[in-house]
Amino acid sequence: MHCWSGSVDAELVVAEGDIAKLVSDLRTLIPAGSDVANTVAAIVADVRARGDAALAEYTSRFDLGGGPAPALEVPAQLIADAAGQLDPAVRLALELAIDNVGAVGEAAVNPDVTVSRNGATVKVKEAPVSSAAVYVPGGRAPYPSTVVMGVTTARAAGVGDVVVCSPPTDDEEINHVILAACWLTGVRAVYRMGGAQSIAALAYGTQTIQPVDVIVGPGNLYVQEAKRQVSARVGLDGFAGPSDLLVIADPNADPGPITLDLLAQAEHGPGTLVLAASTSRELLTALADGIGQSANTGAVCRLIELQNQSQAFELAQAFAPEHLQLIGTEAEALADVVTRAGSVFVGADAGTAFGDYIAGSNHILPTDGAARFASSLSARTFRRTFTEVRVTDPTTLAQAAAPLARAEGFERHAQSMEARIRDNRGR
Residue numbers annotated as active site: 322-323
Amino acid at 11: E
Pairing of β 244-249 and β 323-327: parallel
The DSSP string of 316-383 is HHHH--SEEEEESHHHHGGGGT----SEEEESTT--HHHHHHTSSS-S----TTGGGT-----GGGGE
Quick one: 380 exposed, middle or buried, by C-beta within 10 A (0-12, 13-18, 19+)?
Answer: middle
The answer to whether 127 and 111 have CB atoms below 8 angstroms apart is no
List all residues 6 or more positions away from 284 whose beta carbon is below 8 Å from its beta carbon: 12, 276, 278, 303, 304, 305
The DSSP bridge partners found for residue 127 are 384
Distance CA 7, CA 289 (A): 7
Distance CA 278, CA 330 (A): 11
Q: What is the DSSP letter of 130?
A: S
Of 217, 185, 190, nearest in space to 94 by CA = 185
Neighbours of 257 (CB within 10 A): 16
Distance CA 330, CA 237 (A): 33
For 161, what's the count of Cα atoms within 13 Å in the CB-facing half-sphere? 10
